[in-house]
Structure 1
Amino acid sequence: MSAIQRNSGTAGAVTNPIRVMVVDDSVVIRGLVGRWIDEEPNLAVVASHRNGRLAVEDVIRSNPDVVILDIEMPDMDGLTALPLLLEKKRDLVVVVASTLTRRNAEISLKALSLGAADYVPKPENNSGVTTSVDFRRELVDKVVNLGQRARSRAAGRSGTGGIAMPTAGVRMPMATSRPAEPAPARSKSASFTIRSYSMVKPRILAIGSSTGGPQALNTLFGEIGSAIGQVPVVITQHMPPTFTAILAEHLSKSAGRQAAEGKDGEVLQPGRIYVAPGGRHMVLAKQGGDVVIRLQDGPPINFCKPAVDPLFKTVVDIYGNATLAVVLTGMGSDGAEGVSAIGRAGGSVIAQDEESSVVWGMPGAAAHTGMCSDVLPLPEIGRKVSRVLLGGRP
């Protein structure tokens, strides 16, 4: 009996769940992840394969919405299989799963540039996978959110209403997960309260991002140009350790500026890009006449570590109405409280729009605070940031 048939007979299950393919060379992980997926009433496993070649050969027949793709596999690895899967199925969502080695982090970021929607850091061994509540929660959250987003876009292109699905950015509850996070309703016709930009020239650029963020950040810095030489840039991207250091290296190439993980006590300098290191909250503090980075090892905030809110709140405490912030694509609502604080202080915030976001959770929550000065498509954000940083009219 298929997973679809099993789930359709479950009380409270949806009749058309998000279809998931699991690709991993470990039979233990395939079985475990498959069970987690099938226990979710809005998800169903439709195929399970031990290598990329089998997945590519089967993707049309099994017709998944989401593929969970391991990196290291025999015969055909995940990076080789990824473009072949996407070539065969245009709307396919691929979530890469890899352990936290530098090599795998490099490969995972390469996979994002090739079209993978997101990644999930995988514990180093099968025992760790079996006992990790965080891995299960993050994996299921991303499959649900990204699967919903893909179906919504497909329904929009076809001109049909599609199936009734929960709002993108809302996390579906599961037995071992945190409570569902509230997020704004998605609506292309929604009207936002837009505030005027600050009349004060920005003295800092602060950015928050999550799912889809690495690609969005590279696009943003490719468009900003020389204007970022005017101010320091601080970034919180939801990422685990190792990944953030490699992300900073990539951003350095995109921006043509020095980018690195922020270090505790480091003095901010104009023209430099500071990325919050995975597993630590990055905030700012005054030290004499300087502004310095402080790294904190407290509990997760908004279920994230690093989190955007603590960075934004300390940025505005120091820079006030000379703050320019950007909220890019990501799940959840991290950053919304910081956006509200920036708006109350008279600073300026730009949020990415829904259509260009991989998931419109964080930027949607920012837009719905009523404290943003613009809600823009990703290709327009860099040029707008450049004008504002140079003191021109927005």
Structure 2
Amino acid sequence: MGQTCREGDHTVTGKIKVMLVDDSAVVRQVLAAVLSKDAEIEVIGSAPDPIFAMDKMNQSWPDVVVLDVEMPRMDGITFLKKLMSVRPTPVVICSTLTEKGAATSMQAMAAGAVGIVTKPKSGLKGFLEQDEGDIVQAVKSAAQIDMRRIKAMSMASLSTPPKLTINQAMPATDKAAAMVVTTNKLVAIGTSTGGTQALEVVLRSLGRTTPGIVIVQHMPEKFTAAFAERLNKICEIEVLEAKNGDRVIDGRALVAPGGKHMQLKRSGAQYHVEITDGPPVNRHKPSVDVLFRSVARSAGANALGIIMTGMGDDGALGMLDMHNAGAETIAQDEKSCVVYGMPKEAVKHGAVDTIVPLTEIAALIGQYARRNR
């Protein structure tokens, strides 16, 4: 494997070595052109399918693989699973912007992929002008990941019972009854790289009496719907991709749609979300800062803010606003983070009350719920 450092300063000893695997020669050409422009990245090879790719990788192992999911001879999901069992390596999925592509990409994330980018939509020139920052950022984020932490999160998710913390301490209620209860307490969560797996660990541990949850997970347009649908199938709480005007109620988690910002609004004792367009904030849309700042304004001390694994600093200032407004705030600790960027910045700004491992976050949500009922 390339000589890199996994704690965020891999560029000290060498470039990030990337292998491109896609059956489209045009896509391989475009991605190679985009990535090669960055001085910290070296494309060491490309292949039209996983079998050719493995032959090349055995000669020179990459730090990051950019992988298509629909290919001849061997599909991307099968290759990904083989890769994770033989030699776990950060994989960024390069997917079509379709419903089928989004659903398949969620399978890939569950199998250990660490990021998603969309395929070029409008040729080389358009891609270079519009989307080159996304793929470069995805590769750099992936290069920082310790794959042992991805495996640990997968194990934690598999071992999580369907009901935990909150339902053990409170009488379970009928799901339909829980959905009509309005609460003036809520939970706001922000995460990025490694967040799909981390959110699964947390949300699978929550029961129907959990306060309403609003979530920003950095993810491209279209993919958040498939992500929410997958979580909804495996969690006891209801998980939905948010739509404009959706209410924030007990037993429901709303995931901000990719390509849009989500803000919390309050009308009397009821909360709802507002979905808006607009420029990216901290290079992201949706942005954790946008959500957290709106929570500080609309909920103040009635909110619990949680910031989890992710590269960059999105959410740090928004969490500070929440903290200053009287909200309780939690950060995932460094040891359990896939990338300790966003939580680290929030801690650095003095925005965090409590720092805990990923596996303790659900329990703290349960304690918060019990204190405020």
- TM-score range (shorter-chain normalised) is 0.7 to 0.9
In the TM superposition, residue 234 of structure 1 has moved relative to its aligned partner by 0.7
Determine the structure 1 residue equivalent to 2:49.
51
Tell me what 1:260 maps to.
Answer: 240
The one-letter code sitting in structure 1 at the alignment partner of 2:187 is: L
Q: 2:98 aligns with which of 81, 94, 101?
A: 101
| Number of the residue aligned with 2:8 | none
Segments of structure 1 that go 5 or more residues without pairing to the other structure are: 5-12, 154-200
CA offset at residue 16 of structure 1? 2.3
- In the aligned structure 2, how far is the partner of 1:119 from the partner of 1:143? 10
CA contact (8 A) 2:95 2:119 kept: yes
Deviation at 1:291, TM superposition (A): 2.1
- Distance in 2, matches of 1:233 and 1:112, equals 22
Distance in 2 (alpha carbons) for counterparts of 1:67 and 1:345: 43
1:204 aligns with 186
Asked if 1:386 corresponds to 2:369, the answer is no
Distance 1:316 1:146, change over 3 A: same
Matched residues, number? 330
Matched, 1:217 2:214: no
2:139 to 139, 143, 150: 143
Normalised TM-score (structure 2): 0.82
Distance 1:18 1:117 in 2: 16
Match of 1:198 in 2: none
User: Using a 3 Å threshold, how does the CA distance of structure 1 residues 271 and 149 change in structure 2: closer, same or farther?
Assistant: closer
Name the amino acid aligned to 1:336: A
Partner of 2:328: 348
Could you tell me how far apart the structure 1 residues matched to 2:257 and 2:280 are?
Answer: 14
The answer to whether the aligner puts 1:283 opposite 2:263 as a matched pair is: yes
- The 8 Å contact of residues 24 and 73 in structure 1, kept in 2 or not, is answered as yes
Letter paired with 1:48: S
The DSSP-based 3-state class of the residue aligned with 1:142 is: helix
Q: Distance in 2 between matches of 1:130 and 1:264?
A: 30
User: 2:229 is matched by which residue type in structure 1?
Assistant: E
User: How far apart, CA to CA, are the structure 1 residues paired with 2:184 and 2:342?
Assistant: 22
Please identify runs of 4+ aligned residues in structure 1 that moved more than 4 A. 150-153
Q: Which amino acid aligns with 2:27?
A: I
Gaps of 5+ in 2: 3-10, 150-182
2:154 is aligned to none
Aligned to 1:29: 27
Asked whether the 8 Å contact 2:184–2:269 carries over to 1, the reply is no
Are the counterparts in 2 of residues 248 and 261 from structure 1 also a CA contact under 8 Å?
yes
Give the Cα–Cα distance (whole angstroms) in 1 for the partners of residues 125 and 196 of structure 2: 25
Distance in 2, matches of 1:129 and 1:253, equals: 40
Give the deviation of 1:32 after TM superposition: 2.7
Once the two structures are superposed, the pairs formed by residues 10-25 of structure 1 within 5 Å of their partners are 16-25=14-23
* TM-score, normalising length: structure 1: 0.78
Q: Please say if residues 90 and 145 of structure 2, whose CA atoms lie closer than 8 Å, have aligned partners that are also in contact.
A: no
Between the aligned partners of 2:125 and 2:108, the Cα distance in structure 1 is 22
Partner residue of 1:70 out of 59, 68, 71:
68
Q: Structure 1: how far apart are the matches of 2:130 and 2:232? A: 31
CA distance in 1, matches of 2:224, 2:127: 25
Q: Structure 2 CA distance, aligned partners of 1:384 and 1:67?
A: 36
Query: What residue in structure 2 maps to residue 239 of structure 1?
Result: 219
CA contact (8 A) 1:18 1:148 kept: no
Secondary structure of residue in 2 paired with 1:274: strand
Summarize the alignment of residues 143-222 of structure 1 with structure 2, pairs less than 5 Å apart: 143-150=139-146, 203-222=185-204
Once residues 355 and 250 of structure 1 are traced to their aligned partners in structure 2, the CA distance between those partners, rounded to angstroms, is 27
Deviating more after overlay: 52-61 vs 66-75:
52-61
Residues 74-83 or 32-41, more deviating: 32-41
Question: In structure 1, what is the Cα distance between the partners aligned to 2:148 and 2:236?
Answer: 36
One-letter amino acid matched to 1:290? Q
Deviation at 1:346, TM superposition (A): 1.9
SS in 2 for 1:229: coil
Supply the distance in 1 between the matched residues of 2:184 and 2:127 (Cα, whole angstroms): 46
SS at structure 1 position matched to 2:299: helix
Task: Tell me the equivalent position of 1:60.
Answer: 58
Query: Amino acid of the residue matched to residue 133 of structure 2?
Result: R
Q: 1:58 to 1:247 in 2, by over 3 A?
A: same
Distance (whole Å) between structure 1 residues aligned to residue 346 and residue 21 of structure 2? 35
How much is the aligned-residue C-alpha RMSD, in angstroms?
2.4
